[in-house]
Amino acid sequence: MFSNEPITKDSIVTLIGPSVRVEGDLITEGDVVVEGSVIGNLRTEKNLKVGEKAKIFANIQATNAIISGEVQGNIKIKEKLELTASAKIFGDIRTKIISMAAGASLNGKCLMDDKRTKSDRPESIRQEKIELEDLPAETPTPTKSKK
Amino acid sequence: MYSYLYDSCLSENKYATNLARVEARLTQLGINGKINRLSFLKNIRSILTDELKRGLKNLIIVGNDQTVNQVLNLAADLDVTFGFIPLGQPQTLAKILGLPDPLAACDILAGRKIEKIDVGLVNDYYFLTSIILPGEPLILECDQSYFLTLTSNKTEVKICNLDFINGEFAKPQDGFFEIVIKEKPSSLSFFRTKQIPLSKFLVRKINLSAKKSTVIRIDQQKTLKTPVTIKIEKQKIPFIVGKDRLF
Burial class (CB in 10 A: 0-12, 13-18, 19+), B39: exposed
pLDDT band at A113 (very low <50, low <70, confident <90, very high): confident
pLDDT at B5 > cutoff 80: yes
Pairwise CB contact (< 8 Å): A20 & B198: no
Contacts of B183 in chain A (CB under 8 A): 17, 19
The pLDDT value given to residue B185: 65
Residue B109 to residue B26: CA distance in whole angstroms: 9
pLDDT at A46 > cutoff 90: yes
List helix spans (H) across B30-164: 44-53, 65-75, 92-97, 102-111
The pLDDT value given to residue A6: 59
Contact with chain A for residue B36, Cβ under 8 A: no
A vs B, Cβ pairs < 8 A, gives 56
The pLDDT value given to residue B186: 62
Contact with chain B for residue A20, Cβ under 8 A: yes
Residue B63 to residue B69: CA distance in whole angstroms: 11
The pLDDT value given to residue A147: 44
Question: What average pLDDT is seen over chain B?
Answer: 86
B147, B181, B200: residue with CB nearest A23: B147
A14, A18, A21: residue with CB nearest B202: A14
pLDDT at A104 > cutoff 70: yes
Contacts of A7 in chain B (CB under 8 A): none
CA distance A77 to chain B (A): 22
Pairwise CB contact (< 8 Å): A20 & B150: yes
Q: Could you tell me the CA-to-CA distances from B108 to A3, B67, B80 in Å, in that order?
A: 45, 19, 17
pLDDT at B102 > cutoff 50: yes
The pLDDT value given to residue A3: 40
Q: Which residues contact B53 (CB under 8 A, 6 or more apart)?
A: none
B147, B152, B198: residue with CB nearest A24: B147
pLDDT band at A1 (very low <50, low <70, confident <90, very high): very low
| B18-39 pLDDT per residue, tens | 999 999 999 999 998 999 888 7
Contacts of A40 in chain B (CB under 8 A): 146
Pairwise CB contact (< 8 Å): B148 & A21: yes
Q: Tell me the residues of chain A between 21 and 50 that have a Cβ less than 8 Å away from chain B.
A: 21-28, 30, 35-36, 40
pLDDT at A105 > cutoff 50: yes
The pLDDT value given to residue A118: 80
Disruptive mutation site among B133, B136, B151 for chain A (greatest number of A CBs within 10 Å): B151
| B121-146 pLDDT per residue, tens | 999 889 888 898 876 677 899 999 99
Residue B246 to residue B139: CA distance in whole angstroms: 32
Residue B190 to residue B134: CA distance in whole angstroms: 22
| A50-94 pLDDT per residue, tens | 999 999 999 999 999 999 999 999 999 999 999 999 999 999 999
Contact with chain A for residue B145, Cβ under 8 A: yes
The pLDDT value given to residue A26: 95
Question: What average pLDDT is seen over chain A?
Answer: 85
3-class SS of residue B191: helix
pLDDT band at A45 (very low <50, low <70, confident <90, very high): very high
| B187-223 pLDDT per residue, tens | 555 555 455 667 999 999 999 887 778 888 888 778 8
More confident residue, B188 or B239: B239
Residue B55 to residue B74: CA distance in whole angstroms: 17
Inter-residue contact B70 to B44 (CB < 8 Å): yes
A15, A21, A25: residue with CB nearest B149: A21
**pTM of the predicted model as reported, rounded to 2 decimal places:** 0.80
Q: Which residues, in sequence order, are bridge partners of residue A31?
A: A12
pLDDT band at B78 (very low <50, low <70, confident <90, very high): confident
More confident residue, B224 or B81: B81
Contacts of B151 in chain A (CB under 8 A): 19-21, 36
Q: Tell me the residues of chain A between 46 and 75 that have a Cβ less than 8 Å away from chain B.
A: none
The pLDDT value given to residue B237: 93
The pLDDT value given to residue B135: 66
